[in-house]
Amino acid sequence: AQSVSQHNHHVILSEAASLELGCNYSYGGTVNLFWYVQYPGQHLQLLLKYFSGDPLVKGIKGFEAEFIKSKFSFNLRKPSVQWSDTAEYFCAVNPGNTDKLIFGTGTRLQVFP
């Protein structure tokens, strides 16, 4: 079955630290890839997306993600986190010619000043 794995369930960082959140998926065909973020008390928001082209995509608030096809990965990165980045981050995959989104289990990020 198609699945999305986020290996980091809970990440705690100090401000200015670098961030990398892992995301791996199991689907051999063409995929569209997404990272969503849910800030405390807010709804799920799109952080960035990959459809095709340059495998390094940039999103809002200084986030970027790299699609590595050979590793079935789409890791999220930010060189220097801020306290306001405290949130839950979800990786999602849209496999093949479907409209479905398959979500990972989410990573809770806490950033301390």
- Work out which of 2, 17, 27, 49 binds another protein, going by CB under 8 A: 49
Span near another protein by CB under 8 A; candidates 21-29, 53-61, 71-79, 94-102: 94-102
Using the rule CB under 8 A, give the single segment among 12-20, 22-30, 66-74, 101-109 that binds another protein.
101-109
Q: Which two tokens stand for residue 109?
A: 């990020």
Options 36, 63, 74, 89; binder of another protein; rule CB under 8 A: 36
Cβ closer to another protein: 18 or 105?
105
Let me know the angle formed at the C-alpha of 94 by 65 and 90, rounded to the nearest 5 degrees.
Answer: 50
Among 44, 56, 60, 68, binds another protein (CB under 8 A): 44
Residues with Cβ within 8 Å of residue 90, at least 6 apart in sequence: 6, 35, 36, 37, 38, 44, 103, 104, 106, 107
Three-state DSSP state, 39: coil
